[in-house]
């Protein structure tokens, strides 16, 4: 679950910002509990000064949304498989 969420966030960020312009990118995903599952997504990103007009906060917020969406989809698929 954590790997799915992390990959989703990473792919989203790399699809919106050129990798050459990303100075550092750290994504941390933590899952806790079983029912309900609590998921925490932390993204720390530093962009090149050349990207000064880029809305970094919006990028991070959208990447977190993408991580949660794919994590939820993953959990729903697991739930469907377990009923068989």
Q: What is the pLDDT of residues 28-79, one digit of tens each?
A: 999 998 788 899 999 999 999 988 889 999 999 999 999 999 999 998 887 7
How far apart CA 84 and CA 63 sit, in angstroms, is 33
State both tokens at 60: 């991070």
Sorting pLDDT into bands at 50, 70 and 90, what band is 5? Answer: very high
The pLDDT, as a whole number, for residue 81 is: 60
Distances in whole angstroms, Cα of residue 19 to Cα of each of 47, 52, 54, 82:
9, 15, 14, 38
User: Model-level pTM?
Assistant: 0.86
Q: Residue 61: which of 9, 6, 1 has the closest Cα? A: 9
Residue 82's SS3 state is helix
């Amino acid at each position: 679950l954590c790997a799915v969420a992390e990959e989703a966030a990473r792919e989203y960020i790399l699809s919106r910002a050129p990798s050459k312009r990303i100075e550092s990118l750290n994504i941390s995903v933590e899952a806790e509990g079983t029912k309900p599952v609590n998921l925490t997504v932390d993204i720390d990103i530093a962009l090149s000064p050349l990207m000064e007009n880029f809305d970094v906060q919006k990028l991070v917020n959208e990447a977190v949304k993408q991580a949660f969406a794919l994590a939820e989809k993953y959990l729903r698929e697991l739930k469907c498989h377990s009923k068989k």
